[in-house]
Chain A
């Protein structure tokens, strides 16, 4: 399969709020103890003055710099996001302009599974002879969070990450699933002028059925990892790193107990960043890469689940 990761980059906005600081700032009745125990988040970054695409642009510049390339070297930009500032232009188009790239650009929407869906799409683009593809995953979830809902608002954070991809043979296997429906997770769009439309529409905030989301996530994470390893003809004991979507530490822990992969191999950073939806996996990958812990030949498993409902996993050799 046609893909190699040339470089990674990421960016989070400077404001970082601890649980106590967040609760104080927005006046919700919650506590550090409850949030840590229930979700595993200790702090998160929140954008005060940077749009989604501005964060994505900085992450992209960092990935390009690491690869020793310029925006002119990129043949396609695909951005995974669930929190685009506009329905149009796309976040990818705004990033294209800001970078000074001259290639096509589009967004891809698969909620928290967006990074893996986009990786799959980029593999197909590279097979179609686009030589280098910039994958961006950028989220300003603070714009779609209900800050009065203490059950959801403490979970999420803002951030962006980017990968420069080239043709190669390091993309070993993938599995993607959709289970369409809006009962478990729903993020309604803002409803504008209601001159004609007669049905009620919900407020444009993230809604989740916590227990069903948890069940779906743990179940899919277990099954998708097993499925992708089987497709890649790899044993659980061969896996160097599992980078799961950072939705909730309890989801990661519950899935970890149901698999035979060494628990130490799971990469988590939800404690510092919260759930950044499509950006969470590449954000963790960039941290791992820049920490020097990744070795050539390492086997990486990415696994994600989220709205759609959607789930996906991929197996990549570093």
Chain B
């Protein structure tokens, strides 16, 4: 899973252009609350066929990518 792919999937989920979803973007800026982050995680679980457990708050797109990298190993 590349950072580009993560940005693309988040952009698709939101119906936004990928240029608007930056690695530094916070989910708050993107208008995504914690339940929608959980739903995003579910989309990635389906895509990657792994189980992901949210243990700490994920605040930015970059942190979301790191979370996926760490958990998918």
Contact = CB atoms under 8 A, between A and B. Distances in A.
B33 A215 contact: no
A219 B42 contact: yes
Interface in B10-69: 33-35, 37-39, 41-42, 53-54
A38 B53 contact: no
A210 interface: yes
A212 B42 contact: no
B71 to A, nearest CB: 13
A104 B17 CA distance: 63
Contacts of A211: 34-35, 37-38, 41, 54
A214 B53 contact: no
A38 B33 CA distance: 9
Contacts of A209: 54
Given A218-B39, A219-B42, A212 B33 contact: no
A253 to B, nearest CB: 10
Most buried by B among A210, A211, A219, A248: A211
A212 B53 contact: yes
A215 B34 contact: no
B33 A214 contact: no
B11 to A, nearest CB: 18
A250 interface: yes
Contacts, number: 29
A275 to B, nearest CB: 14
Interface in A192-224: 209-212, 214-215, 218-219
A215 B37 contact: no
A75 to B, nearest CB: 44
B27 to A, nearest CB: 12
A254 interface: yes
Nearest to B54: A211
Contacts of B42: 215, 218-219, 254
A212 B35 contact: no
Nearest to B33: A38
A209 B42 CA distance: 16
Given A218-B39, A218-B42, A210 B53 contact: no
B41 A210 contact: no
Contacts of A219: 42
A209 B37 CA distance: 13
Contacts of B39: 214, 218, 254
A223 to B, nearest CB: 12
A72 B47 CA distance: 56
Contacts of B35: 38, 210-211, 214, 248, 250
Given A210-B34, A210-B35, A218-B42, 13 more contacts: A38-B35, A209-B54, A210-B38, A211-B35, A211-B37, A211-B38, A211-B41, A211-B54, A212-B38, A214-B39, A215-B38, A219-B42, A248-B35
5 contacts: A38-B35, A209-B54, A210-B34, A211-B35, A214-B38
